[in-house]
Amino acid sequence: MRDTLVLNASFEPLSTVSLNRAVVLVLQDKAVVEQAHPELRMRGADVDIPVPRVIRLCRYVRVPFRRRAPWSRRGVLVRDRHRCAYCGRRATTVDHVVPRAQGGQDTWLNTVAACAEDNHRKANRTPEEAGMTLLRQPFEPTPADAMLLSLGQEEIAALPDWLSRDAA
Ligand SMILES: [Zn+2]
């Protein structure tokens, strides 16, 4: 996966995002391409743009300093790129690693994206109790990541197929 560097409107580097998210931000006029790969272009029915290496947000965003990113279900799905933490298939639900019935909280470190089948199978059990293995550990996004998540989260799910491929 090739990542794209994101600059604030003030040109200060903020974070990196996936190529898909970078393209979506550009297509939605939320960012402009500052530097592109010389040879590569992304082409679709109505679109023909250079593959961005660096993009810059059109509006300045104030990044909270050391503030924790607020937890949300949608944020968890975007953080995990809509991939199930147990099987890797497309996830549409959020699973509590330690179930709420056992005192598990709505936190970044206790929640993962999960497909409906695995979420149902796991039910009110921990992964150990259910005999299921986490493919990756949940993590807390940085505030800058959370800001970018909030910019892109609706649009990622609606990406056309031709953009969903990684231009590798
Ligand atoms: Zn699954």
Residue-range definition of the domain harbouring residue 13: 4-65
| 132 C-alpha to ligand 1 centroid (Å) | 10
What is the structure's pLDDT at 13?
79
The pTM of this model reads 0.55
Statement to judge: residues 61 and 92 lie in one domain: no
What six digits make up the tokens of 126?
A: 């921990």
Which tens digits make up the pLDDT trace of 85-97?
999 999 999 999 9
| 86 C-alpha to ligand 1 centroid (Å) | 5
Statement to judge: residues 52 and 88 lie in one domain: no
What is the structure's pLDDT at 102?
94
150: Cα within 13 Å, side-chain hemisphere: 12
Statement to judge: residues 60 and 21 lie in one domain: yes
Which tens digits make up the pLDDT trace of 16-53?
888 888 888 998 899 999 999 888 888 877 778 888 98
pLDDT band at 123 (very low <50, low <70, confident <90, very high): very high
The whole-angstrom separation of Cα 122 and Cα 101 is 12
What six digits make up the tokens of 124?
A: 């009110």
Contact call for residues 53 and 37 (beta carbons, < 8 A): yes
Provide the 10 A C-beta neighbour count for residue 166: 10
Statement to judge: residues 58 and 40 lie in one domain: yes
Structural domains of the chain, count: 2
| 151 C-alpha to ligand 1 centroid (Å) | 26
CA-to-CA dists, residue 143 to 14, 75, 115, angstroms: 10, 12, 26
Which tens digits make up the pLDDT trace of 74-117?
889 888 989 999 999 999 999 999 999 999 999 999 999 999 99
